[in-house]
Amino acid sequence: MLSYQQTRWKLSDLFEAHDGPDMQAANAELERQVTAFEARRAQLTPEIDVVDFLEIVRQLESIDRLAQRIYGFASLKFAADTQDQVAQTFLAQVQQAMAGIENRTLFFSLWWKELEQAAAERLMAASGDYRYWLEEMRHFKPHTLSEVEEKIINIKDTTGASALHNLYDAITNRYIFKMTVDGEEKELTRGEMMVYARHHDPSLRAQAYQEIYRVYGQDGPILGQIYQTLVRDWRNEQVELRKFGYPISARNLVNDIPDEVVDTLLQVCQRNAPIFQRYFRLKARLLGVERLRRYDLYAPVSGSDKKYDFKTAVEMVLDSFYHFAPRLSELARRVFAQNHLDSEVRKGKRGGAFCATITPDLTPWVLLNYQGRPDDVATMAHELGHAIHSLLADHHSAFTQHACLPMAETASTFGEMMLVDRLLADETDENVRRDMLFQQVDDSYATIMRQAFFALFERQAHEMIQQGASVDELSAAYLQNLETQFGDSIEITDDFRWEWVSIPHIYQVPFYVYAYAFGQLLVLSLYQQYKEEGESFKPRYLEILAAGGSEAPVKILADAGIDVHNADFWQGGFNVISRMVDQLEALPPL
Ligand SMILES: [Zn+2]
């Protein structure tokens, strides 16, 4: 019988210590393997024998596993105490060493991408579980330039796009925001300001947003100019030089999602904006106002202060997994049994939560900062969901275990849904039920609709900038985008014209944001299918998870009978949200 207590994790399954004999041996072994790998370089020819080729790939995987183990230890030790100077220094050393190893082994992927199609197909046909990993690398072949051109782009990027990213960070990270709270003036970071965006006092919510966009707005013309330049650079490189059809297509290929699937996804999102508009009208009624201001979007509604002690939380989470499939709770239990969970709140420990999968043969490590609130329980279900996903895919290679970005949140979000369903079924206190449902719909809004409309704005902005649009014209388009999103359900003030210059993602990783909407809607749609089909759905779902990253996402889903090209599939996700809003509307008034 396991006893569930809040403890720190044990890292000895990786290494005893950063300077122990096992670590020294691992480093020596890594060096030996990298040297042996380098010695095989001359064998990489189009005529290479399949057996030799696979041996080389296995050598590379072995290097990767060992490197991940060392890096995993360093980064987990640091996460457990970010103020520990030994951990800090060790992590920096390991990062440096890993970059060196990456450079020494890079020749393999360069050769592989260059290889002519017939030879590549011969080798891929014989490479089993490595096939998709090998195939995926080659997707970029038609968009890859000559070695000289690639080198020039790299060199010019360091003083071009990368320099602008750093400049944007440097400018926006030094912003200080002022808030007057209870007559006292405070100087806050943006993260601290967002706490006030969720405050129960409406005037503090308004003050927080007004101050954020006052500060961003002061630099608006400059930040906007940085954006215009980055967008032009993106088009010049991705569309003009690399011959992608559209600016967004370059990102779609990284995600391995076809352009038309992303188009369908965004169309369905746009069509379903009225669901959240209905939700915001309901929220206005509960807050006793005629119409919600944009400042009130994340206003808390009832605020029950229900707490769950750690043991109860673990039992609830495991029980909800068990209810779906006993195997899932068994896998989650392994994380506890092996002491791979750090749930304590400690000074210096990294905030938030994550799940780290190091190599397929090791049970993942989970970090939580558990404080007993309902959303802490949901986070536990989320991170253990990630662990389950990895464990179900642990028969794959180190290169094919991890699900790609749009699929990476499947088991975690599904785990949360199972928990919330279970809690809603057991909970009799209407206030707690209301809070849980509001939390769910708030999260769905922030992950799906908000991100989808960012992506729609990006698509439009890339087009407008190509046509020579000014920063003011972009701001006007952004306000228009908000109006389409909210209709008349929300009052939008002029301050929000600068919101777009405050979104780092659209600067740093163009078109990244739609992956959030993809992942969350995918899970809601799957959950919907589960509700409709019951038992027969379960094996299909477990297959999706067990595939890990060993196939293209569209293929994994097609094998489970899901057609992501079909708008109805995505609509299924919105139907779940619509029903949650129905449930909220049916609850008795506060
Ligand atoms: Zn996650």
Instruction: Give yes or no for residue 28 having a pLDDT over 90.
Output: yes
DSSP conformational letter for 17:
-
Instruction: Give yes or no for residue 405 having a pLDDT over 90.
Output: no
Sign of CA dihedral 535, 539, 544, 548: positive
- Band (pLDDT 50/70/90 cuts) for residue 2 is low
| 353 Cα–ligand 1 center, Å | 9
In the numeric block, the tokens 């207590």 are attached to: 5
- Burial status of residue 328 (CB atoms within 10 A of its CB: 0-12, 13-18, 19 or more): buried
Q: Which pLDDT belongs to residue 107?
A: 92
Specify the 3-state DSSP secondary structure of 278. helix
| 33 Cα–ligand 1 center, Å | 33
| 42 Cα–ligand 1 center, Å | 42
Buried-state track 518-553, b at ≥16 Cβ within 10 A, e below 16: bbbbbbbbbbbbbeeeeeebeebbbebbbbbbbbbb
Instruction: Give yes or no for residue 392 having a pLDDT over 90.
Output: yes
| 82 Cα–ligand 1 center, Å | 21
| 408 Cα–ligand 1 center, Å | 7
| 424 Cα–ligand 1 center, Å | 22
| 98 Cα–ligand 1 center, Å | 25
Question: Cβ distance 260 to 159 under 8 Å?
Answer: no
| 375 Cα–ligand 1 center, Å | 14
Average pLDDT over residues 419-443: 86
- Among 174-188, 413-427, 534-548, the range scoring the smallest mean pLDDT is 413-427
Q: Which pLDDT belongs to residue 352?
A: 84
DSSP conformational letter for 351:
-
| 184 Cα–ligand 1 center, Å | 37
| 187 Cα–ligand 1 center, Å | 31
Q: Which pLDDT belongs to residue 265?
A: 97
| 379 Cα–ligand 1 center, Å | 9
| 269 Cα–ligand 1 center, Å | 21
| 325 Cα–ligand 1 center, Å | 21
Label each residue of 475-494 as H, E or C: HHHHHHHHHHHHCCCEECCH
User: pLDDT tens for residues 107-151?
Assistant: 999 899 999 999 999 999 999 999 999 999 999 999 989 888 988
| 382 Cα–ligand 1 center, Å | 6
| 412 Cα–ligand 1 center, Å | 6
Neighbours of ion ligand 1 (CB under 5 A): 412
Specify whether the backbone of 349 is left (phi greater than 0), alpha (psi in -120 to 50) or beta.
Answer: beta
| 552 Cα–ligand 1 center, Å | 20
pTM (two decimals): 0.89
| 378 Cα–ligand 1 center, Å | 11
Report d(CA 377, CA 65) in Å as an integer.
32
User: pLDDT tens for residues 549-583?
Assistant: 999 999 999 999 899 999 999 999 999 999 999 99
Structure tokens at 520: 């969350």
In the numeric block, the tokens 């991705």 are attached to: 238
Q: Which pLDDT belongs to residue 271?
A: 97
Q: Which pLDDT belongs to residue 52?
A: 97
What percent of the chain stands above pLDDT 90? 81
| 109 Cα–ligand 1 center, Å | 29
User: pLDDT tens for residues 248-284?
Assistant: 999 999 999 999 999 999 999 999 999 999 999 999 9
Calculate the average pLDDT of the chain.
94
Q: Which pLDDT belongs to residue 1?
A: 54
Report d(CA 368, CA 6) in Å as an integer.
10
| 313 Cα–ligand 1 center, Å | 18
User: pLDDT tens for residues 50-62?
Assistant: 999 999 999 999 9
Average pLDDT over residues 395-404: 96
Residue 568, CA distances (Å) to 426, 450, 575 in order? 32, 21, 10
Report d(CA 174, CA 215) in Å as an integer.
11
| 529 Cα–ligand 1 center, Å | 21
| 538 Cα–ligand 1 center, Å | 21
Question: Cβ distance 74 to 90 under 8 Å?
Answer: yes
- Among 22-31, 90-99, 227-236, the range scoring the smallest mean pLDDT is 90-99
| 161 Cα–ligand 1 center, Å | 29
| 383 Cα–ligand 1 center, Å | 6
| 354 Cα–ligand 1 center, Å | 7
Q: What is the dihedral of CA 309, 329, 576, 313, to 10 degrees?
A: 0
| 515 Cα–ligand 1 center, Å | 12
| 381 Cα–ligand 1 center, Å | 10
Q: Which pLDDT belongs to residue 303?
A: 66
| 284 Cα–ligand 1 center, Å | 30
Average pLDDT over residues 56-75: 97
Buried-state track 245-276, b at ≥16 Cβ within 10 A, e below 16: ebbbbbbbbbbbbbeebbebbbebbeebbebb
| 542 Cα–ligand 1 center, Å | 18
- Band (pLDDT 50/70/90 cuts) for residue 589 is confident
